[in-house]
Amino acid sequence: MKSLLHIALMMLASGLLVGQTPSPSQSSNQRILIRYATAHIGNGEVLDNAYIEIQNGEFSRVADGNTSRINESDYDLIIDAEGKQVFPGFIVMDSRLGLTEIDQVNATHDFDETGDILPNVRALPAFNTESKIIATVRTNGVLMAQIAPVGGTISGSSSLVHFDGWNWQDATVKADEGVYMNWPQRYRQTGWWAEPGPVKTNKKYQESLLEVHSYFEEAKAYQALANKQPENLRFESLAGVISGSDRLYIRANWARDILDVVQFVRKYDLKKVTIVGGAEAHLVTTELRENDISVIIDRVHKLPIHPDSPIEEPYWLAGKLVSDGVNVAFATNGDMEAMLSRNLPFQVGTAVHYGLPYEEAIRCLTQIPAALAGVGERYGTLEPGKSATFFLSDGDPLDITTNRVTQAFIEGKMIDLTNHQTELYQKFSEKHGLETQ
């Protein structure tokens, strides 16, 4: 019996050791130079032969190698990256990464709190840095995420995290940078994604809309009180949205709903607002642009909102919005959303094929989401003084056939790009005598 127990314990221990998430990288004071690479700055600019210098976790120099000189003895590590490309770390918005692990196990779902109006709910403390999904996502250059709750009318606060920390405190880039809400839907889509049903009118839309307005009127009146006693935590959580320091993210798809959002923004003088979803946002780009309302496209690879719309409508949506002057970022919402985050670059690659300019696509994955989350001065581009959070790729990271991220850095620390999927690929490639990358 003892021998059987010992065997069981050994099997359990070995099982726990297989496929563990990579440990966070160690801090380094090395002065690093990456040279000869093509650098996509993230603001639309490209340097064909770049010198990128990293020190103390940030870029200390980003220069054109054709007109600059260096002293090799000044560096602890020099990476010759000829033929490779360098990009700022990609950022996925409105994500459940680290908030869910196994779809069929409700105990691993930490993204939907019970209740309807919960601006005081925080996604950040539920973020699990040990999620095995995260390691698979950063292999494709997605190094940061905005984690956000779902459910109810006001879901709670979102936060920006990076993917190299021992715990949620280590991973925090900006805590509680915005509040997510679900706009009442004027129309309801029946069926499911593979078999969409007819669209039905929501007869309680105006009633639901009145409730939203009433709540914000109360919240705004509360902010104006000189003596906030007793303290109302839910109203307090909307203080930043009402004052303009925090962003309000509103999930809405129908054009008429988005126009109602525009009126809502004007009525309460909200300074920072982003539409999430925006399936019909291309119909109201003038209103979005004039009111400085950006759009997070929830998914590129999906069916159009109308069954009689062109099948490629979601593919060219980003290009249309950008050409009309609307700032765009991307999410990967839908079934298995957290796992699909690793395909974020390839979804954006589809948008590029359907009209989104390439360097604008990089902006939509880097500079724009960083700015929306309020960290644009520190993240999102390859510029001196900013965090050295970036990756190198042998091919085009937006092309699934050539993408190969070879090295990645978060806060100036080189991270381990292996995960359980790459380990299985290596294992069975060796078994069948195949060449590995």
So where are the chain's domains? 25-89+381-418, 90-372
Domain covering 25-89+381-418 in this structure, CATH number: 2.30.40.10
Is omega for the bond preceding 230 within 30 degrees of 0, making it cis? yes
Q: Is the pLDDT of residue 8 over 50?
A: no
Q: Write the DSSP assignment of 123-141 as a string of letters.
A: SGGG--TT-HHHHHHHTTT
pLDDT digits (tens, 9 = 90+) for 199-233: 888 889 999 999 999 999 999 999 999 888 889 99
What is residue 435's predicted lDDT score, i.e. its pLDDT? 73
What is the pLDDT averaged over residues 370-375? 98
Mean pLDDT (the chain) is 90
* Pairing of the two strands 46-55 and 328-330: unpaired
- CA 111 from chain center: how many Å? 15
What is residue 189's predicted lDDT score, i.e. its pLDDT? 77
Domain spanning 90-372: CATH superfamily: Metal-dependent hydrolases (3.20.20.140)
Q: What percent of the chain stands above pLDDT 70?
A: 93
Q: Is the pLDDT of residue 195 over 90?
A: no
Structure confidence at residue 236 as a pLDDT band (50, 70, 90): very high
CA distance 153 to 208: 9
What is residue 437's predicted lDDT score, i.e. its pLDDT? 60
**Residues near 206 by Cβ (< 8 Å), separated by ≥ 6?**
none
Structure confidence at residue 358 as a pLDDT band (50, 70, 90): very high
Collapsed DSSP state (helix, strand, coil) of residue 227: coil
**Residues near 376 by Cβ (< 8 Å), separated by ≥ 6?**
367, 370
Q: Is the pLDDT of residue 413 over 90?
A: yes
Handedness of CA 13, 17, 20, 25 (dihedral sign): positive
- 160-197 in b/e form (b: 16+ CB < 10 A) is bbbbbbeebeebbbbbbbbbbbbbbbbeebeeeeeeee
What is the pLDDT averaged over residues 324-348? 89
The lowest-confidence range among 24-28, 117-121, 142-146, 255-259 is 24-28
Crossing angle between the packed helical segments 358-365 and 313-323, to the nearest 10 degrees: 90
89 contacts 139 by C-beta, under 8 angstroms: no
- Amino acid identity of residue 163, one-letter, is F
The values of phi and psi at residue 51, to 5°, are -110, 120
CA distance 345 to 367: 15
Per DSSP, what are the bridge partners of residue 254?
none
Going by C-alpha positions, the residue among 317, 161, 157 that lies closest to residue 246 is 157
Query: Which tokens hold the place of 317?
Result: 């949506």
Burial of 115 (0-12, 13-18, 19+ CB in 10 A): middle
The values of phi and psi at residue 20, to 5°, are -65, 150
